[in-house]
Amino acid sequence: MTNITVKESLALNEKYYTFKHSSGLTVYVFPKEMSSSYALFATRYGAIDNKFKLEGDEEFTCVPDGIAHFLEHKMFECENGVDAFELFSRTGASANAYTSNTRTAYLFSATENFYESLEYLLDFVTHPYFTEQTVQKEQGIIGQELKMYDDHPMARLEKGLLQALYKKNKIRIDVGGTIESIAQINADLLYKCYNTFYSLHNMVLAVCGGVDVEKIEQICDKLLKDSEEKKIIRDYECDDEPYEAYKTRSECSLSVSKPLFAIGVKINAIPSEPNKRLKQFYTMSILNEMLYSRSSEMFNELYDKNLITHSISASVEQYNSYFFNEIYSESSDPEAVYDYFVSHINDKKKNGLSLEAFELAKRTLYADNIMMYDSVDDIADALVTNYLEGTELFENSNIIASITFEDVEEMLHSAYDERCYAMSVVNPIEKEEK
């Protein structure tokens, strides 16, 4: 019997179980009586992990951009010729997968036959099967997907912003790679990446819903083999990343009715301690709510001047090797919006923020964190995110509660440096023709 630990929050009236399986897999089980149950099986392996070695290896392995995403696609093909999606259709489960900059995840939700679906999930992700013939076939499929994203306005907007903010950091790599890079992928490289990053010691399983922790443990015992842990050494090659933004502008033209813009702020001070990074993340999130929400001064002035037609969206992206903030919307005059943004931030740095706005923003973020516990997929995703970041789920609300007005003011002054601003714009094609 595995040593199962109970994590409980009296303030939230929630609890979950966690254990380290003998295979090396970290497992989280969050019992929650909802209409469906959800499972997320993830590995700490994403687009930025393209240079690596195992402890004891003399040389690093460098692999083509986009290989993590390519591997995710290939995992759904089983050796017996059955597609993994077909397996889930037998149980009525809805399955999917995704690759980000820092993780690859496989997931499903189900209203019935949950344990049978979980067996399918653990089985197909732990049994890779690649051949040169199927790899070549997939190169064509993913090549078409990449061309589709080249025509996707929001994808191009994000790509343009990251490649403007960063010169060397691997966050600027497109998750899917390029037509040229995926052409270099072969079965041997896929097995190399799989055997390195799909070690169960590098993976996590989060389950949420009407589930029993001992039943989950039994399924792990049935399907997962014990393995030796080998430390993965990753080289992100970003030690000499410039302080300032690489470029101030990135522009392209697509079939959009009005220009889309994204303004990014590159932030260089990243704490090494996980809880300090988490506090930094939530502090910036509160500041975003204060500066850019529909009740903010910036939104209302831009809207009154007809410079934006709908709300401003803001998001924070953070990992141990990068940290940036971005806001995006659409505007007939992105340059006027940018000029206002610079002026507005300078004014706030000079004249100060509103304490009332801070208190409202902090309550909003705290409430959002509490509402997360009404969603099985949000809970599972948060468990995985906290695991990958080295933090604990129930500490999130405590960290938000600990943030002070002075913390937010300090963040405004330290993070917003005009040398670290960049803007990405997607213009209507007509503008380019004129």
To the nearest 5 percent, what fractions of the chain are helix, strand and coil? Answer: 45, 20, 35
End-to-end CA distance of the chain: 71
Interatomic CA distance for residues 361 and 378, integer angstroms: 21
* Residue 63, C-beta contacts closer than 8 angstroms, at least 6 positions apart: 50, 51, 185, 189, 192, 193
Q: How far is CA 193 from CA 71, 72, 112, 222, in A?
A: 8, 11, 34, 25
Joined tokens for residue 257 = 């009715």
138 is catalytic: no
Determine which one of 14, 58, 72, 251 is catalytic: 72
Coil vs helix vs strand at 422: strand
Under a CB-based contact definition with an 8 Å cutoff, are residues 8 and 207 in contact? no
Joined tokens for residue 156 = 């191009």
Q: What are phi and psi of 173, to 5 degrees?
A: -75, 130
Under a CB-based contact definition with an 8 Å cutoff, are residues 19 and 178 in contact? no
Under a CB-based contact definition with an 8 Å cutoff, are residues 278 and 319 in contact? no
Q: Strand pairing partners for 329? A: 261
Smallest Cα–Cα separation from 266: which of 48, 424, 417, 426?
Answer: 417
Q: Strand pairing partners for 98? A: 105
Interatomic CA distance for residues 240 and 238, integer angstroms: 5
Which residues does the annotation mark as catalytic?
Answer: 72
